[in-house]
Chains A and B, each alone.
Chain A
Amino acid sequence: MLPVVIPLRLFLSQLFCLCVGVAIESTLLLKRAELPRQIAFHYSLIANVVAVSVGWLMLFASQDLLFSGVREQQLLSYLFTGEFIPDVSMASTQFTCAMLAIILFLGGLMLKPYSIRLLQRLEILPLPPNADVGLDDPRLNALVLLRLRERIEGSMRIGHVLSTLTTILFFMVASASLWL
């Protein structure tokens, strides 16, 4: 017996958001931080996949808190039917949804550059080749590296904002075209 109700649309839209995020962020890393093509792709791919997996783990960690009482019914109703239950209190649900959106956005904004920095420090991700300019003074080298890191992290933050805006815009247009 095949499973009949599966969160397939959620998975596909997450895949779509991942693709959009990787495309926009790797382009920014390529153009703005002037990283080589492959390294830019690896940085953005790893940052996005790590952010997604941390997000899921946090969701499961806060599952009992999130899905409780009236809020559980409201959220489940929205998940399964696409609309909230009328005549039932929406106050805590509205607050939760707004908080979730803000936490997801800010969390991604902080987590993406941080995960790249952490993985660089663990020597899993390579430093970009333009980090080592071969100056004699180690302090100058460190300064160059700092500037480069700032540029990489800035581009990742801008990329995160842009990809979030793009996906929101896309889903708004998609739902509007469904209603029309």
Chain B
Amino acid sequence: MGSVVDRLKSFFTLLAPPRLVSWQSMFLFGVGLWVVSAVVGLADPENVVDRYILRRVGWFFIAGGVVWRQALDPVKVLGFPIGAWAASSAVITFFFEDEARQWTQTGFILWPLLSGLLVTLSYFLSTSGHWRVPSQLERIKAIVALAVGIVLACWLKFYFVTQDWMVKYPRLWDAQIEHSSFMATLQDPRETLGQNLVSEVDRLLYRKFNGQPWPEIEKQLQQYLGDPDRIDNDLKQGSEGHSPVTIPFGSDWDVTFSVTGTGNPSYTMTTMTTWKSPLFFDNRDFSVVRVCEVTRAPLPLELFSEATQTGLLECNTSPEFIFAERKVKQAGVESPTDQPVASPVQTPDRNEAPMPVKPIAPIVPTPTVPSR
């Protein structure tokens, strides 16, 4: 207990202004304005303008106080000075905050640049507040800080550029990111589980249909249609010498299968993989629809070739599927009317939405009805 009280005491003595013109008084003034804006908001929730102005001015003073503090004595966490980052984040909150109290894109990009500039600036200021020429080592540190700031800003900018691309080509959400050497996903374990399952489904479909003779493909399709549980059993019990699919958290999952199309030019197979969340406190279901199209592969051009007609499988993860909207629609991937869940290929709102609410790649989890 004592240590907590001591820490609080030292915190307040740190914030107590030693004289009127000091960074503490500036900081406290800013905090005071901020509190006043909160009180105004409580008293009169309709009054947005006054609150907005008060908060902005408050942030301005907080930023000024933090910059002043940073210039006097850089704060270090684990030996790494963070004062510049804190100060620049305060400055950016003042200048680059939108109505929803989120940083704008420009704010994020300017953050590392501003931090680098502040680090450089702090080397030009002496503790008494006068300008000075930085020492040799400090000049090197300053140029490294600036260059690293530029690199970090470029990384953030590139991240925003990729997000713009994903808005421009919404099907990039369906791409199989794990084969890319540039992009990565930070996903929920529940969705990663489904991703493993869906890749198993993909593998089974490719094994059964890609490059197989056409009559064989039609036979397989007949079998799958005649027995709705067949694909599920193939995956769960293993088929043709392939081991059954096991996933780390139990086996509560299900795959349904349907086929549309006449076979001329193609069959469209829709598989829906549904799985339960592996977390015991979360009883939601997740599902992914994979639409694959099996077409007759082009025959070799030689007249007397003995090659037989084979099939060619394309799923909604392949690049030609992602980038060729019109071609796919002409090829006959139309919405099967009896499908309970619209597949990612056919939902027009995905293409029109400026930003999908739950953008997941490479799979499209649709949290469906919560089961009990």
Contacts and interface: CB of A to CB of B under 8 A. Distances in A.
A73 B158 CA distance: 17
A5 B182 contact: no
Interface of A: 1-11, 13, 42, 45-46, 49-50, 52-53, 56-57, 59-60, 63, 73, 76-77, 79-88, 119, 123-126, 175
A4 B151 contact: no
Interface stretch (B54-62, B84-92, B135-143): B135-143
A10 B161 CA distance: 14
Interface of B is mostly: helix
A5 B173 CA distance: 8
A36 to B, nearest CB: 13
Interface in B182-196: 182-187
A85 B162 contact: no
Given A11-B155, A80-B172, A126-B136, A4 B150 contact: no
Size class of B's contact patch? 35 or more
Interface string B138-181: 01101110011011001101110111011001001101110111
Given A2-B186, A76-B165, A85-B320, A46 B143 contact: yes
Interface of B: 136, 139-140, 142-144, 147-148, 150-151, 154-155, 157-159, 161-163, 165-166, 169, 172-173, 175-177, 179-187, 317-320, 322-324, 358-361
Most B CB atoms within 10 A — which of A81, A123, A125? A81
A81 B163 contact: no
A77 B182 contact: no
A7 B317 contact: no
Contact of B151 (A2, A7, A53): A53
A21 B187 CA distance: 32
A124 B319 contact: no
Contact of B180 (A9, A73, A119): A9
A81 B322 contact: yes
Given A6-B185, A88-B320, 14 more contacts: A5-B173, A6-B184, A6-B186, A7-B184, A8-B184, A9-B181, A10-B181, A79-B180, A80-B183, A80-B322, A82-B180, A85-B323, A125-B139, A125-B143
B128 to A, nearest CB: 24
A124 B185 contact: no
Given A81-B175, A124-B140, A7 B158 contact: yes
